[in-house]
Amino acid sequence: MSKSLQYNLRSQLSPLAIAILSTFFVGNASAETTVSAPQEIAKNLEFDASFLNVDDEKTVDLSRFANGSAVLPGVYRTAVYINNEPISNIDIEFKVRADQSVYPCLSRELVKNIAFNYSKLPSGFLNSQNSDDLCLDLQNKLPEAQVNYDSNEQRLDITIPQVYMLKAARGTVSSELWDSGVPALLLGYNVNGYTSRSHGTTFNSMFAGVNAGMNVGAWYLRHNGSYLRMNDGPNQYSSINTYLQRDIPALKARVLMGQSNTSGQLFDTLPFTGIQLATDERMLPESLRGYAPEIRGIARTNARVTVSQSGQVLYETTVTPGEFLINDLYPTGYGGDLDVTVRESDGTLQTFRVPYASVAQLLRPGASRYTVTAGELRHDNLREKPALYQGTYQLGLTNAITGYGGLQASQNYYALQLGAAVGTPIGALAFDATQARTHLANGTDTSSTSLSGQSYRVSYSKLISETNSNLSLAAYRFSTAGYMDFMTAMRTRDAVEKGYLPESISRAKNRLTLTAGQGLPENWGQLYISGSLQNYWNRDGSEKQYQIGYNNRYKSLSYGFSVNRSFSSLGIAQTNYLLSFSLPLGRDDQTHTPQLRLDLSHDSSGRYGQQASVSGTAGQDNAFSYGVTAMNANQGTGSSGALSANYRSAATALNGSYSTGKGYQGASAGMNGTVIAHAGGVTFTPYTSDTFALIEAKGAEGASVSSYPGVRVDSRGYAVVPYLNPYQMNEISIDPKGTAADVELDNTNQKVAPYSGAVVKIKYTAKKGTPILVNATYQGEPVPFGADIFDSQGNSVGSVGQGGQLYARVAQEQGQLRVQWGEGSQMQCMVGYRLMPVAKGQQQISIQQFNTACIPALSTPAMTNVG
């Protein structure tokens, strides 16, 4: 056999057929052996059945392989790959051509998922273009393509020359594959109750954060708010924002109507009420793609931490004593500092600010970003609602230069910005200048009531791999005396209208922020530094803060040292020192090994403190976590302790804590999670997210889903998978372990690319029945190896293995299976079965096995008891 013909056979036949045919190939006079191209299909081949070593060669019909087909007509669940990239897992019908060869019928749904360049395709490629029942024979319409089906793997490989495909970056997911999801109602909640008693005074508070939504088609309605109740203050519900959004895939953008925040990529983040059209780079593939900062601090007791931006509360949680890290903030933009308040159990408050600034805005050549916003500013402390009109645009001009600009406008205010970002061998650099003009009072004579000025900003970032240095961000801004950003201008105008002087509102002069890290050689650890400096034109003093730290590890021992220093505008300095050690209490490669942490702290007030804590997890899927802390400090604080516990159930996540010390006690309890209402009912999850997959697997109750601990199919047959990556393929797998013994899943893995905010539905079909293993004979010989098995509904349920052994899962106590190894009634037979009865209350055995004869299809087979 020629090499080209061998290649073509291997590309057309399944591994089972290859194993059989490679041992007994013979060509007849009509089989051309001068095939010159691998994509040409072998025609009218003949095979010698004597090489199969069977007594009656007529029982084996090899004509099905004569034209390169290894599958019988029918519908099969198939994994589809286009140029070796997976695109779907669907049912595909295989039909017969006039020459008796079999081809996959490509439906319209499947064809639209192939990124064809239709301008290059032959005319009449889609003859039934306007029909919903399109059945495309791809190899007939496009001979250059290869369509190869592997029946063993149930995989269809379609190879299409690149000339007929749209050029796309790696990781590209066609917008045709994006799934807007199913109609659903969502309610994400975070409820936390807090109480403390200090020196006879009791403080109680309750916080409830709500993230609610409704999805209808591609329209998503969202509402974010919070309820706060305190014993020494008013009880109130605050609406953070409410908006309606819809993606526009053709523009790689999203339109949003209602209350939200500007992106902050060029100007600072501003809350607004209005309409916005903005690009979303997540719609681009990962190979073409940009931030919320981590918040670190130290709590002395069981404390409540609140994070706000521009006066709006973004996040609130309860932390245990010691160093804490908040790294799960929802992004609210790239500009605008975050204000952090830590309320201790003894009533004392700590406040500090986390710089939040944008990085250099380099884009790829030809790539662009834009936002257009029209509405009014949202700010509770302003008497009026000033208009806000803003537009920004960024364009990658070359491989090293990006140009950008923006415009802000309102009544009696405008700001125009122009800038460029440059990539150089020594780092990424961005420079921009902003011209702003503010009219401080209404009236015709504005010469004495107007301020104008400029602001110049330069930012720099660089990762030096040779020295393990990472200068994450260095940004410097200088503003002239007359410059005001949008928020400062609106606050100043409001102050003037109330009768105050313009100087009552501070105007920034210089601002410097820095974040850097340096790895030391020879496993000497990592140094890091972050800080900010800001002064003002119309206010004395400056605001400075910095943090310097060192981290390292020796075997299983981790240790670090940090210094946090801040200066108020009055020059008052506050310094905190922290030395910490951490190590496992046992082998760190074992599950549920507790972790010990020791902290030694000192601050500029002369306070010394020691703290020891043990934390760990327990239970299946680490559903339970705990922490025990003991503390001691001078200055009359004395000894104290704290306990904390968290439990993640299938429906919600629960948490609680208690702390006590000299003169105070504090406790908290909370719960968080998400409730999703859909056409099939209501499903609960302990996770909070924005984009979900709703799994429907009726009959597979108890099966675990994907890689998120504790996500299982509930008693109604549903499960929720959180944290899907929008516009990218997410692999959702289901593990049958945990289901009943008589349940089998058609497939255990599917992929989906959701819109941002979507609830996409993925359905898994679970077959409930008893597995049987049949040793079948036909006319005294084992049923032909490789024959197909069909149930009474004509569904393919497997193939015959060696020695005539067939496996199937049956749902009825008795029935018939059809075994087929060729065309015609003489090439098929029927196997009847009757399951052994199971006593009431006893568990069904895992598999039943029996021997029987396969009766010719025209006969009625006798029922054989399974034994």
DSSP 769-804: -EEEEEEEEETTEEPPTT-EEE-TTS-EEEE--GGG
Instruction: Please provide residue 415's backbone torsions phi and psi, each rounded to the nearest 5 degrees.
Output: -145, 130
What is the number of domains present in the chain? 3
* Rounded Cα distance, 299 and 346, in Å: 11
**Quick check: is 333 in a domain?**
no
Regarding whether 775 and 760 lie in a shared domain, the answer is no
**654, part of any domain:** no
How far apart (Å, rounded) are the C-alpha atoms in residues 208 and 229?
Answer: 9
Q: Which domain holds residue 822?
A: 769-856
The DSSP code sequence of 644-677 is EEEEE-SS-EEEEEEEEETTEEEEEEEEEEEEEE
Question: Can you give the CATH number for the domain in which 77 is found?
Answer: 3.10.20.410
Rounded Cα distance, 195 and 230, in Å: 10
402 close to 266: Cβ distance less than 8 angstroms: no
Torsions phi, psi of 711, nearest 5?
Answer: -80, 110
Same domain, yes or no, for 754 and 797? no
- Token duo for residue 410: 């309102």
CA distance 399 to 391: 24
Token couple for 33: 């052996």
On whether both 787 and 749 belong to a single domain, the answer is no
CA distance 805 to 318: 62
Please name every residue paired with 737 in a beta bridge, in sequence order, or none if there are none. none
Do 784 and 758 reside in the same domain of the chain?
A: no
Number of residues in the chain: 867
pLDDT of 357 reads: 40
pLDDT reported for residue 352: 80
Whether residue 756 is found in the same domain as residue 710: yes
Q: Are residues 800 and 717 in the same domain?
A: no
CB of 279 within 8 A of CB of 263?
no
813 and 755 in a single domain? The answer is no
- Looking at 118, 140, 167, which one is the last position of a domain? 167
145 and 78, same structural domain?
Answer: yes
- Examine the domain organization and report whether 138 and 82 are in the same domain: yes
Amino acid at 175: S
Residue 753 and residue 774 in one domain: no
Residue ending a domain, among 718, 735, 767, is 767
The pLDDT value given to residue 745: 79
Q: Sign of dihedral through CA atoms 438, 441, 443, 446?
A: negative
Encoding tokens for residue 274?
A: 């209005």
The pLDDT of residue 448: 56
Average confidence (pLDDT) per 10 residues, the chain, 867 residues:
33 38 36 32 58 53 56 79 81 83 83 79 67 75 88 84 73 79 95 89 90 95 92 83 94 94 88 94 70 69 82 78 71 59 83 61 81 92 90 87 93 94 79 94 59 91 66 82 92 88 88 87 87 88 87 92 77 85 86 91 88 91 92 86 93 93 90 95 93 91 83 91 90 82 76 92 83 88 85 78 83 86 83 81 71 82 66
CA angle 169–172–175, rounded 5-degree value: 130
pLDDT at 45 (0 to 100): 61
The dihedral through the CA atoms of 580, 586, 590, 592 has a sign that is: negative
Query: CB-based contacts of 784: which residues, under 8 Å, 6+ apart?
Result: 54, 59, 60, 778, 800, 804, 821
Q: What is the predicted pLDDT for the residue at 287?
A: 58
User: Of 767, 789, 818, which residue constitutes the final position of a domain?
Assistant: 767
pLDDT number for residue 413: 94
pLDDT of residue 5: 32
DSSP for 170-221 reads TT---GGGEE----EEEEEEEEEEEEEEETTEEEEEEEEEEEEEEEETTEEE
Task: Tell me, yes or no, whether 658 lies in a domain.
Answer: no
Q: What confidence score (pLDDT) does residue 270 get?
A: 92
- Under a CB-based contact definition with an 8 Å cutoff, are residues 752 and 27 in contact? no
Instruction: Please tell me whether residues 790 and 710 are part of one structural domain.
Output: no
The three-state secondary structure class of 411 is coil
668 beta partners:
194, 657
In a domain, 297, yes or no: no
Q: What is the pTM of this model?
A: 0.73
Cβ-proximal residues to 685 (8 Å cutoff; 6+ apart), any chain: 651, 673, 674, 676, 692, 711, 720, 722
Residue 733 included in any domain: yes
**φ/ψ (deg, to 5) at 7:** -60, -45
Rounded-to-integer distance, Cα 300 and Cα 538, Å: 36
**Residue 711: CATH number of its domain:** 2.60.40.2610
